[in-house]
Amino acid sequence: MISAYTGTQVRHAEEPLLAAGLGDVLMQRAAHGLAVAVIRELKARGLRVYGSSVAVLTGKGNNGGDGLYAAAFLAARGMRTTAILTADSAHPQALAAFERAGGRVRHLSDAAPGGLAADTARADVVIDAVLGTGAKGGLRGSAAALIAAIAEARTGSAAPGFVVACDLPSGVDADTGEVAQPVLAADLTVTFGAAKAGLLADPGADFSGRVEVVPIGIEENFERPALRRLDDGDIAALLPRPERRAHKYSRGVLGVVAGSADYPGAAVLACRGALAAGVGMVRYLGPPEVADLVRESCPEVVCSTGAAADNRVQAWLVGSGMGPGDHEQLQRARDAVESGLPVVADAGALPALPDALAPHVVLTPHAGELAALLQRLGGDEDRAAVEAGTLAAVRRAAALTGATVLLKGATTLVAAPAGGVFGQSDGTPWLATAGSGDVLAGIIGALLAQLGSDVEHFGKAGVEPGARWAAVAALGAALHGKAGRAASDACLGGPIAAGGIADSLPHVWGKVSTLSNGGIRKRNSHSQPLR
């Protein structure tokens, strides 16, 4: 499990060591880890360390101190180092160490910003150490203008070098992932002590690149994470496995209420997703013409036109491919939610359900649907506001509805109403294709049918009972992302259609279930890559 924390939690974790007078030791560890990561990245890109250039942009706080100490290490390894001081002061000991190591200092206040930006953008490595977890708001004034100019100089021109964010990209909120422009997008973020929640939620994740954690000795001092990510080891541990004497009913039966005359294909794709995700049986309920199509495409599915209450299932999937005019289907969806069984409620079902729900109901909106849900509950967020603050929006929706809420996106967030949040980023942008969400709903429905009643199963994987529905949904999102990526990889990174996600899932499932803990691969003793 990858755990991420807020800036405040990190500061609390540091407090005992700071009180013991170890502040400089922590900074040296952070800086050393940053320098090692830069060297490794240079080598991975086939660049020499000796003689390569590094420009470190520094602010006046400890984040700037980390950057200056790291640059001092790099100067000692023979790199051509320049520090650009963006504030009127800099961490004094770190600046002294940098100058002793032979680094060159330039002051933003003394230089023509255009020339400074052009020089910086040409460096082999740019380290962004302007703002860290102590920042209030984004970059301002001349520092903002400089970063904007560097970002512009790097886009369009085939900029040779790469950008490393020190702890987090300046302008990204460590707690929420909200972004105050301008932000210099990083290729690599080297973060200290623990991942910050804002690096693993959109839009912060858009600017963070690959995230590596450098341990600095505060790791034992954390309590409840603000955000968690299932790694391959967790996924392997959580995947359902049939017992030797299992039969189709004991394996889990999923009832699917999806599709309509306008969108019959959604029912087929939801069923294909469910069948690929190990369910014992799928029962489809819907209009006869949709049922015919489901039978034709998926002969494994048992179809009926009856009421929800007449069908024995372990979980329901409702809403994919349904609209406000599909009264009979919407009634089945409401009946399914009232049954007390686990339900994944997608698309057309979202506006039709009661305001007060329970954790075993998993809502799967995209940003626009989440905005509509929040507005119905009295909020004023529009789609853009949800996209600008995904973590806050998904938490709010879970708290207001009492349901588990999964917000679809490049990073899929799942919030439990009791407070825990999972964030998965396993996919590829090719997953943004029609029908992809129907397959996701099918996968999550199948997992609910198989795992819904097994509380102990989650305890073994370190998931507390209150977060288990969120963990099921996160598991579904992870499998969906991995299956989409595998389908694209099989086409050398080419495009995929939604059906291809379902087709590649069994292989992905088999591959990941053989892993014991492949998610965090330790590259060395200093850092752990997160993605």
Q: Indicate the annotated binding residues for AMP.
A: 408-412, 437
Q: Are 71 and 54 in contact (CB under 8 A)?
A: yes
Q: Residue 192 interacts with ligand NAX (CB under 6 A)?
A: yes
In which residue are the tokens 């029609």 written?
434
Give the integer Cα–Cα distance in Å for 409 and 49: 38
* Other CB atoms within 10 A of residue 516 CB: 8
Q: Residue 86 interacts with K ion (CB under 5 A)?
A: no
Nearer to K ion, 164 or 269 (CB): 164
Nearer to ligand NAX, 169 or 265 (CB): 169
**Residue 170 touches which member of K ion, ligand NAX, none, C-beta under 5-8 Å by kind:** K ion
Q: Residue 58 interacts with ligand NAX (CB under 6 A)?
A: no
**Residue 135 touches which member of K ion, ligand NAX, none, C-beta under 5-8 Å by kind:** ligand NAX
Q: Are 178 and 384 in contact (CB under 8 A)?
A: no
Give the integer Cα–Cα distance in Å for 274 and 502: 8
What residues form DSSP beta bridges with 285? 257, 304
Give the integer Cα–Cα distance in Å for 463 and 455: 9
How far is C-alpha 110 from the geometric centre of its chain's CA atoms?
41
Q: Are 274 and 254 in contact (CB under 8 A)?
A: yes
Q: Minimum distance from CB of 131 to ligand NAX (Å)? A: 5
Q: Minimum distance from CB of 35 to K ion (Å)? A: 15
Give the integer Cα–Cα distance in Å for 470 and 94: 44
Lay out the site mask for ligand NAX across 130-169 (x = CB under 6 A, - = otherwise): -xxxxxxxxxx-------------------------xx--
Tokens of 171: 């302008």
Q: Residue 260 interacts with ligand NAX (CB under 6 A)?
A: no
Region of 162-170, 210-218, 236-244, 366-374 interacting with K ion (CB under 5 A): 162-170
Tell me the H-state helices in 77-217.
Answer: 92-100, 113-121, 141-154, 204-208
Cα-atom radius of gyration of the chain, to the nearest Å? 25
Q: Minimum distance from CB of 530 to K ion (Å)? A: 17
Region of 37-45, 94-102, 129-137, 343-351 interacting with ligand NAX (CB under 6 A): 129-137
Give the integer Cα–Cα distance in Å for 488 and 469: 29
**Residue 134 touches which member of K ion, ligand NAX, none, C-beta under 5-8 Å by kind:** ligand NAX
- Which 11-40 positions form the footprint of ligand NAX (CB under 6 A)? 14, 18, 23, 26-27, 30
Please select the residue that binds ligand NAX; options are 62, 208, 401, 411, rule is CB under 6 A.
62
Q: Minimum distance from CB of 160 to K ion (Å)? A: 22
Q: Residue 66 interacts with ligand NAX (CB under 6 A)?
A: yes
Instruction: Count residues binding K ion (CB under 5 A).
Output: 4
Q: Minimum distance from CB of 121 to ligand NAX (Å)? A: 21
In which residue are the tokens 């405040």 written?
8
Q: Is the peptide bond before 288 cis (omega within 30 degrees of 0)?
A: no
- Residue ranges of the binding site: 62-66, 128, 132-138, 167, 170, 266, 321, 366, 408-412, 437-438
Nearer to ligand NAX, 111 or 418 (CB): 111
Give the list of residues 6+ apart from residue 456 with CB closer than 8 angstroms, or none.
none
Q: Residue 374 interacts with K ion (CB under 5 A)?
A: no
Q: Residue 288 interacts with ligand NAX (CB under 6 A)?
A: no
Instruction: Give 522: exposed, middle or buried? Use CB within 10 Å, 0-12, 13-18, 19+.
Output: exposed
Please select the residue that binds K ion; options are 127, 144, 166, 374, rule is CB under 5 A.
166
Give the list of residues 6+ apart from residue 414 with CB closer than 8 angstroms, or none.
362, 394, 404, 405, 406, 407, 421, 422, 423, 424, 470, 473, 474, 477
Nearer to ligand NAX, 20 or 158 (CB): 20
Give the integer Cα–Cα distance in Å for 373 and 383: 11
Region of 61-69, 73-81, 289-297, 418-426 interacting with ligand NAX (CB under 6 A): 61-69
Q: Are 232 and 239 in contact (CB under 8 A)?
A: no
Lay out the site mask for K ion across 243-272 (x = CB under 5 A, - = otherwise): ------------------------------
**Residue 208 touches which member of ligand NAX, K ion, none, C-beta under 5-8 Å by kind:** none
Q: Which residues bind ligand NAX (CB under 6 A)?
A: 14, 18, 23, 26-27, 30, 59-64, 66, 131-140, 166-167, 192, 216
Q: Which residues bind K ion (CB under 5 A)?
A: 63, 128, 166, 170
